[in-house]
Amino acid sequence: MNRTFDIKHYRGFFGITCLCLVILYGPLIIVMVYSFNDSVSITNWGGVSLRWYIEIFTGLESAKFKAAAWNSFTIAIMAATVSTVIATAASIGMIRGGNFKGKFASFALISLPIMVPEIVTAVATLIFFSTIGFKLGTLSILVAHTVFCIPFAYLPISARLQGIDASYEEAAQDLFANRWMTFRYVLMPIMWPGILAGFLLAFIISLDDFIITNFIKGAGIETLPTAIFGSVKQGIKPNIMALSTLLLLFSIALVTLSYFIGKRGEANQKSQQ
Amino acid sequence: MTTAVSLHGVRKDFGNLTALSDVTLEIEDNEFFTLLGPSGCGKTTLLRMIAGFEGATAGTIRLFGDEIEHLPPNKRPVNTVFQNYALFPHMNVAENIGFSLRMLGWTKTEIQTRVNEMVEMVQLGALVDRKPSQISGGQQQRVALARAMAPRPKVLLLDEPLSALDLKLRQEMRSELKRLQRETGITFIFVTHDQEEALSMSDRIAVMSDGELQQIGTPFEIYEHPNNRFIADFIGETNMMAATVDTVDGLQVVCHLEGGQNLNALANCQIMVGATGILSLRPERLSISKTGSTSEVLKGELGDRVYLGTDTQFIVNLSGGLKLKVRMQNSFFQGSDFKTGDTVFVTVADGAARFLVD
Amino acid sequence: MAAGTGSGSTVSAIFSPVRIWLLLPSWVSIGFFLLLPVLLMLVYSFLTKEFRGGVIWEFSLASYDQFLFDRGLFGDAPAVMKWTYINIFIRSILQATGATILCLLIGFPTAYFIATRPIQSRTMWLFLITVPYWVNLLIRTVSMKFLIRDTGPLNELLLNIGLIDAPLHVINTNFAVQLGLFYSYLPFMVLPIYASVERYNFTFSEVASDLYASKITILWSIILPVVKPGIIAGSILVFVPSLGAFLAPDLLGGAKTFMIGSLVEDQFKGNAGNWPFGAAVSMILLSLVLVVLMFYVRAQQRDQT
């Protein structure tokens, strides 16, 4: 194809896109590279080594990080599970519940956690918990995360549900399935890529959360982000770089997984229609 | 004969829009009953109301004598074949067919037996393990049929099931469906906008338009004795011309057209002398010749013709600006005898003319 | 609406009888754990600060007063406008604006470029752009901090190449914060613009070109107006979180770049905190955000009429 004149082409846009990618990935790659730095001083390069990785698992602070990681992962799994269930129910209610007064308000309420700035949510939650005497700790973090994750799970689930033809459910009902059976045997099998994507998204959001967690965790509990933050405040140390790299790779792996599940689900859907 | 489905005074409004008004009809058991009409006439809405997907704004729906309006779809012993089939994409053919039986709590062996029966009945043996995306449109249609018939419904509802198929397949399926209905004895309620389909398959037809029932009758009755102008026009082809009644004898009338031509016709109801209406002449009941013969004769000039393989359709220009479509079978005449511009005589077959007043 | 399943119903209502039960969990959890707390926070902003950092349930406008006015040690003195806190808000707005502009300058060409790629590669490009977003914001901010420190790799590289003579002092400046915010929220700018450009019909460009318009003119007069909704959406998605951001200002900025997030954070730390004041500042931030969102919604509605 003759490319001497392409109406869509603007000189420099490709360059800026590359710049954009460099800016986005640069810092992360640098951190990854330096996490293998053999030298204690992070400014001088001392050769490649895994010492910092070993240190996170066995060194002075390893107990702290292990506890923090345990907290982060358990909270994330529980928060993601509960918020996914709530979000799935909500999307069925919103998308297959017909038109009703207050549907818009309901949607606004479900999206509220995304609309409100995170720091406001953090303050409000702290004030609320302390007023009702809710002890600050793992449970308080779990509750706050679950609520905060609902709209994030809701988005992919409802998007998927929107795209499903309502005639499958009608056919199921015509063939004697009640509402629960319709959901279990027809809706859910077709919806599951969306539900899984919602779960993964909620999981990552909870795992990564800093601001809200920092506010309401109370003394003595750390999650990975708060532990990392506390450590960074005292200066960036190499073991932090290693820990960051691990977390980084884990997040990317999760996202890639979610992406491929989504693609497979889409391919299935297309061939069925 | 038992009445399978009876509707009385059924009305359906969607907000300000009335989709169905005052529908009253009775469908007999073991009948192949068709709801026929153009798009938007309300036939699908009516079907969905019998299935339970829409509620009636007013009126009653009875199934073998029991009122069913309050029952949800999954509690009614009727099953539907959807226009887009709605086969569950994540289940294979066997699982689709057996779905209702699972819902009803049949045992695994019972389900297996019945599924095999159904597969046998629609001849899909080799495909039981395939998913819907892996079979053709015609095969999907048969799966949808088998799935709906598996739980032995008393009434089967079919919503334009053949409209997605190409012509050849459609014709094959028509005889298939007819055979299935006869063999199983299930009452079929069939929705279509294709009048040829309706005429060829049905025991009785209900013609609908704009949410109202126009006429219920056998294919013969609908075709030969349409109640009004809409039905005469919608079913088959016809010539329609304004006419005025000169004499009345029971339902037999003599009327004249705008060009002055006189004709005998059968009226669709009692009318008075001087009444105006539509004269309906079906093209296949007319013939042209170079000479006038004994029964009703109209004279005119031969216009264009269209060759249709089995037939040829001629246009004849009568006096008074009237045009007649005349259709003759090619095996019965020599087309070369007639040339455009010739003076020809149009003969109306005995008892073929209809005088229609709305 | 499903084909062939009849006329009339435009919204599927199969689960409508049980929709209350389906929606109740989300309504209760968000209503009870977010809406109610926010209202409680509003109440708190009108309470009195307790000496040791809690609250006394006594109505007082002290927080809002403290925000706007300086009454010195003696509460009866005439009100003199105090600009400290207002300045913090103004600075935050400026920082957020700076970040938004940065995102626009880089994000628009990127979004445009991706939207004009062949269909197969588009998802890959989008994937590449969004992957960094899934990395923990804290880690991303820390990595940015690491990169641009005075002794960091970036300066090292530039010094080694000889582009500069002395390290660029970027860290702890306003620009560093804007850079951090830009880094945090760039995908939010790219995605809406991408969606808009993807819907743009390039036949318009061809027609314009046929009528002697230059590419720049086409971009400015034809493409931009069509893509405007995406640009506005993206800007809002960057501006609003930047306003209340905590991590970027805290890690990348310094005393001179104090922003709302840090101000609020301070109020809840230990005994020196002032809860009602923190609540008040949060309320003001929330109101600001709601105003921006309302403008956006109004503008959307106007566009659609």
Higher pLDDT, A193 or B108: B108
- Residue-wise pLDDT for C237-294, tens only, equals 899 889 888 888 888 887 777 888 888 888 887 666 788 888 888 998 999 899 988 8
Q: Are C193 and C234 in contact (CB under 8 A)?
A: yes
Residue C11 confidence (pLDDT): 62
- Give chain A's mean pLDDT: 85
Per residue of chain C (305 residues), give pLDDT as tens: 333 333 334 467 788 888 889 999 999 999 999 999 999 999 888 877 766 556 677 777 777 777 776 665 555 666 666 777 888 888 889 889 999 999 999 999 899 888 888 888 888 888 888 888 888 888 888 888 888 877 777 777 777 777 777 767 777 788 888 888 888 888 888 888 888 888 888 887 788 878 877 777 777 888 888 888 888 888 988 998 898 888 888 888 877 778 888 888 888 876 667 888 888 889 989 998 999 888 888 877 776 65
CA distance, residue B104 to nearest chain C CA (Å): 20
Q: Do C7 and B40 touch (CB under 8 A)?
A: yes
Residue C143 confidence (pLDDT): 86
Count Cα neighbours of C82 within 13 Å in the Cβ-side half-sphere.
15
Neighbour subunits, B (≥3 Cβ pairs < 8 A): A, C
In angstroms, rounded to a whole number, what is the distance separating the alpha carbons of residues A187 and A161? 8
CA distance, residue C267 to nearest chain B CA (Å): 55
Q: Which of C13, C275, C289 lies at the smallest CB-CB distance from A117?
A: C289
Query: Which one of A9, A128, A204 makes the best mutation probe of the C interface by having the most chain C beta carbons within 10 Å?
Result: A128
Count Cα neighbours of C146 within 13 Å in the Cβ-side half-sphere.
27
Instruction: Map tokens 């971009």 to a residue.
Output: C219
Residues of chain B with pLDDT under 70: 293-296, 334-336
Q: Are A238 and A60 in contact (CB under 8 A)?
A: no
Residue B332 confidence (pLDDT): 77
- Residues B143-181 as b or e (16 or more Cβ within 10 Å = b): bbbbbbbbbebbbbbbbbbbebbeeebbeebbebbbebb
CA distance, residue A271 to nearest chain C CA (Å): 17
Secondary structure (DSSP) of A175-233? TT--HHHIIIIIIHHHHHHHHHHHHHHHHHHHHH--HHHHHHS-TT---HHHHHHHHHH
Secondary structure (DSSP) of B288-348? EESS--SS-EEEEEEEEEEE-SSEEEEEEEETTS-EEEEEEEGGGS-GGG--TT-EEEEEE
Q: Do A24 and C4 touch (CB under 8 A)?
A: no
What's the whole-model pTM score? 0.81
B164 touches chain A (CB under 8 A): no
Q: Do B45 and C8 touch (CB under 8 A)?
A: yes
A205 touches chain B (CB under 8 A): no
Whether complex ipTM tops 0.95:
no
Please give the DSSP secondary-structure letter assigned to residue B282.
-
Residue A188 confidence (pLDDT): 93
Strand-pair category, B204-209 with B32-36: parallel
Q: Which of A97, A109, A204 lies at the smallest CB-CB distance from C22?
A: A97
Strand-pair category, B187-192 with B155-159: parallel
Q: Are B59 and B7 in contact (CB under 8 A)?
A: yes
In angstroms, rounded to a whole number, what is the distance separating the alpha carbons of residues C10 and B9? 25
Phi and psi torsions of B292, nearest 5°:
-75, 145
Query: Which one of A165, A173, A174, A184 makes the best mutation probe of the B interface by having the most chain B beta carbons within 10 Å?
Result: A174
Residues from chain A contacting residue C21 (CB–CB below 8 Å):
89, 93
Strand-pair category, B297-307 with C69-70: unpaired
Please give the DSSP secondary-structure letter assigned to residue B135.
S
Residue B142 confidence (pLDDT): 93
Residue A41 confidence (pLDDT): 64
Residue A273 confidence (pLDDT): 45
CA distance, residue B169 to nearest chain A CA (Å): 20
Residue A58 confidence (pLDDT): 78
B82 touches chain A (CB under 8 A): yes
> Is A175's pLDDT higher than 50?
yes
Q: Which of A168, A176, A189 lies at the smallest CB-CB distance from B86?
A: A168
